[in-house]
């Protein structure tokens, strides 16, 4: 039987379906990483080096996957990571994902460069979303976004610090998304017409495609190229830890600093007053050659102890990966591509099924390890460092 006609049960099943629905340049934009994609590959591969400890006869009749994070009760230690332009992967994609997150009892993070605005997401959901911020040169615009997010009920800010400069995502150049060559533009337009379903459902009926949190700042509000140029000219490479103090003065909720890959930076984030950090290399999309996040997690978590919440993203494909990350020191994880593939493949229903599967997998894994509560997952339950393993279901 073809791999495409099966019931999707893994992130890679959704990925294959997403590849069939999306124009190639969009699929590559999601799938790709920076430069030679070494870090992208390591993020996933390194999870397979860790093995779990199996304990038996420990009464696991009431396994509980729930946890509390920043005062919110979560059905499991997982949140949807911010993903830019998600409204190009499914119609009003951010709204669909936020609804699925709410239904499954976990947070959704809205990107600075989302297609849907804070107000649009708020009006479609009851649960507060998390808002992700890039530091832009135009501080008045940053303040405007913060006020709008707060007015929309958001209490948790995810401040991304690993994008001082845009990473070199070579697939985007190859597909004509970046670089501005005529050959590239022709290639990009040709790819659009190979996916008529996408063209109608999202390309036409999914409009407007403007980056709605920024639209009053860009002259031609319907032109994505202008947005890209605007956003790239706005990333502020001069930002330092001092800017966190400015942010603190202008944001009364929690601040999570996303993009920490070094124990010294983790300590600096704590000193700057971060309520949480995300051990993240932007899904391998920024600095190629940096370690995988799962390999960095134990030393970073040890360096900050209980002073701040530690989250992790990068390479998580299933509930077993989540359990490993929690055991190695994370309080929670975020998933990026995993939810995007499910949404591009099957919309909100796909994200709902994916999240239900994550929870089932976390519960089954904990039960089979003889563990009933998330707090019991610690370094004692990770048994050894092993050779990478290839999953036959992938
Ligand atoms: C298509 C795509 C767009 C992304 N856009 C953003 C963004 O706007 N802001 C941000 O902080 N991170 C962004 N990220 C990074 C994710 O938040 C997250 O760190 C990463 O996807 C985690 O790795 P994973 O995809 O292996 O789960 C993006 C990732 C992808 C794949």
Specify the CATH architecture of the domain 3-170+232-372. Answer: Alpha-Beta Barrel (3.20)
What are the two backbone dihedrals, phi and then psi, of residue 78, each rounded to the nearest 5 degrees?
Answer: -150, 145
Residues making up the annotated binding site for FMN are 82-84, 111, 160, 258, 280, 336-337
Residues making up the annotated binding site are 29, 82-84, 111, 132, 134, 160, 169, 258, 280, 282, 285, 336-337
| Bridge partners (DSSP) listed for residue 242 | none
Divide the 394 residues of the chain into consecutive groups of 10 and give the mean pLDDT of each group. Answer: 77 98 96 98 95 97 98 98 97 98 98 96 98 94 96 98 94 83 81 92 92 78 70 89 95 98 98 98 98 97 97 98 98 98 98 98 98 97 76 80
Catalytic residue (one of 147, 209, 282, 317) = 282
Structural domain spans, the chain: 3-170+232-372
User: Quick one: tokens of 287?
Assistant: 């600095």
Nearest to 101 by CA among 123, 120, 81: 81
Q: How many CA atoms lie within 13 A of 287 on its CB side?
A: 14
Provide the pLDDT for residue 346.
98
| Bridge partners (DSSP) listed for residue 79 | 334
Q: Nearest residue CA, atom 4 of ligand 1?
A: 83
Q: Can you tell me the distance from the alpha carbon of 217 to that of 197, in angstroms, rounded to the nearest whole number? A: 32
Q: Can you tell me the distance from the alpha carbon of 122 to that of 147, in angstroms, rounded to the nearest whole number? A: 14
Residue 280 Cβ < 6 Å to ligand 1: yes
Q: What is the DSSP letter of 275?
A: S
Q: How far is CA 204 from CA 20, 30, 88, 187, 349, in A?
A: 18, 21, 11, 20, 21
Listed in sequence order, the DSSP H helices in the chain are 11-21, 24-31, 38-45, 93-103, 118-124, 139-151, 170-174, 182-192, 196-198, 224-234, 242-250, 263-271, 293-304, 319-327, 337-369
Residue 283 Cβ < 6 Å to ligand 1: yes
Q: What is the DSSP letter of 65?
A: -
Provide the pLDDT for residue 221.
56
Which ligand 1 atom minimizes the distance to the CA of 337?
25
- Residue whose pair of structure tokens reads 């699929």 in the numeric block: 27
Helix, strand, coil content of the chain in percent (nearest 5): 50, 15, 40
Provide the pLDDT for residue 335.
99
- Quick check: is 317 catalytic? no
Residue 169 Cβ < 6 Å to ligand 1: no
Mutate to test the pocket of ligand 1, among 94, 161, 259, 336 (most ligand atoms within 8 A of CB): 336
Nearest to 329 by CA among 374, 298, 289, 299: 298
Q: Nearest residue CA, atom 29 of ligand 1?
A: 83
Provide the pLDDT for residue 219.
65
Q: How far is CA 188 from CA 123, 165, 336, in A?
A: 34, 24, 24
Provide the pLDDT for residue 220.
62
Provide the pLDDT for residue 384.
73
């Amino acid at each position: 039987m073809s791999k495409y006609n099966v019931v999707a049960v893994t992130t890679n099943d959704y990925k294959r379906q997403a590849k069939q629905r999306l124009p190639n340049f969009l699929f590559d934009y999601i799938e790709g990483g920076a430069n030679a994609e070494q870090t992208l590959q390591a993020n996933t591969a390194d999870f397979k080096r860790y093995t779990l400890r199996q304990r038996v006869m420990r009464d696991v009749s009431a396994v509980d996957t729930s946890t509390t994070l920043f005062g919110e009760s979560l059905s499991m230690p997982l949140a949807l990571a911010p993903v830019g332009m998600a409204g190009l992967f499914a119609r009003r994609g951010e709204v669909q994902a936020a609804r699925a997150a709410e239904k499954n009892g976990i947070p959704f993070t809205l990107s600075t460069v989302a297609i849907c605005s804070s107000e649009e997401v708020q009006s479609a959901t009851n649960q507060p979303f998390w808002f992700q911020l890039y530091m832009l040169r135009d501080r008045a615009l940053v303040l405007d976004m913060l006020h709008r997010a707060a007015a929309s009920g958001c209490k948790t800010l995810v401040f991304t610090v690993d994008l001082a400069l845009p990473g070199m995502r070579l697939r985007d150049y190859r597909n004509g998304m970046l670089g501005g060559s005529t050959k590239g533009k022709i290639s990009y337009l040709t790819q659009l017409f190979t996916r008529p379903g996408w063209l109608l459902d999202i390309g036409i009926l999914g409009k407007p495609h403007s980056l709605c949190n920024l639209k009053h700042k860009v002259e031609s509000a319907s032109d994505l190229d202008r947005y890209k140029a605007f956003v790239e000219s706005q990333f502020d490479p001069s930002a330092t830890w001092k800017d966190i103090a400015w942010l603190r003065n202008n944001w009364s909720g929690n601040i999570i600093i996303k993009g920490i890959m070094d124990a010294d930076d983790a300590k600096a984030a704590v000193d700057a007053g971060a309520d949480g950090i995300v051990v993240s290399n932007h899904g391998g999309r920024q600095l190629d050659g940096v370690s995988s996040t799962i390999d960095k997690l134990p030393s970073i978590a040890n360096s900050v102890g209980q002073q701040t919440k530690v989250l992790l993203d990068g390479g998580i494909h299933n509930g077993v990966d989540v359990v490993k990350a929690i055991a190695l020191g994370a309080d929670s994880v975020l998933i990026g591509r995993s939810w995007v593939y499910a949404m591009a493949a099957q919309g909100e229903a796909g994200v709902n099924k994916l999240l239900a599967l994550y929870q089932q997998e976390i519960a089954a894994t904990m039960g089979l390890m003889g563990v009933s509560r998330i707090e019991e997952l610690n370094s004692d339950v990770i048994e050894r460092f092993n050779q990478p393993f290839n999953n036959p279901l992938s």
